[in-house]
Amino acid sequence: MALTRSGMRKQVVEALTSVAPPGEQFIACLHGMTGPSPWIDGLIGGIGALIMQSFRKYYFVTLTNTSVVVNRAGRVANRPKEIVAAIPLAANPIASVNKGAVWGKLFIQFPGEAAPTKINVHRIWGADLDRFAEALAAAGAVATIPAQAAPEAAQEQAQQ
């Protein structure tokens, strides 16, 4: 069981390497959960927080040079599980990336879904979230990026 970000990232890349086409480059990988702000769990506490946790889905989101790959993550061990979606970058699957002081947000448009799904990303994955946003901005595959992660791309977007 991997306990560090690098260990979790290594497990995800190993799992994806077996199904990825030759030459696929892994740019960034991050872990997150769906649902309302995780701050709410702390506010309601106890049984309410456990109930809230039972409704959350946990994912690893990996950016490659050609696509965004989403794996389900285990609730306890955070091991990568089955691939939920592999979306080409040309489809612009990421609606927005916002980096917060503690919790960042990534909005991903899953195929067949009416609205983007919010994935909350903890600050320990901040460097990965920055790398993710920078690579998406460079590829022109995201609607909104955090200004602190890629200032020149944010300025370009503001000028358009």
- What CATH number does the domain containing 54 carry? 2.30.29.30
The pLDDT score that the predictor gives to residue 59 is 93
At 28-86, the pLDDT tens digits run 899 999 987 777 777 777 777 777 777 889 999 999 888 899 999 888 777 888 889 88
Which tokens in the block code for residue 28? 């960034």
Between 102 and 151, residue with greater pLDDT:
102
Half-sphere CA count of 142, side-chain side, radius 13 A? 28
Q: Work out the pLDDT band at 147, boundaries 50, 70, 90.
A: very low
The pLDDT score that the predictor gives to residue 51 is 75
The pLDDT score that the predictor gives to residue 2 is 56
Domain count, the chain: 1
Is residue 139 one of the residues assigned to a domain? yes
Which residue segment(s) compose the domain that 95 sits in? 5-155
Rounded to two decimals, what is the model's pTM? 0.77
User: Under 8 Å CB-to-CB from 107, ≥6 apart: which residues?
Assistant: 94, 95, 96, 97, 116, 117, 118, 119
Is residue 19 one of the residues assigned to a domain? yes
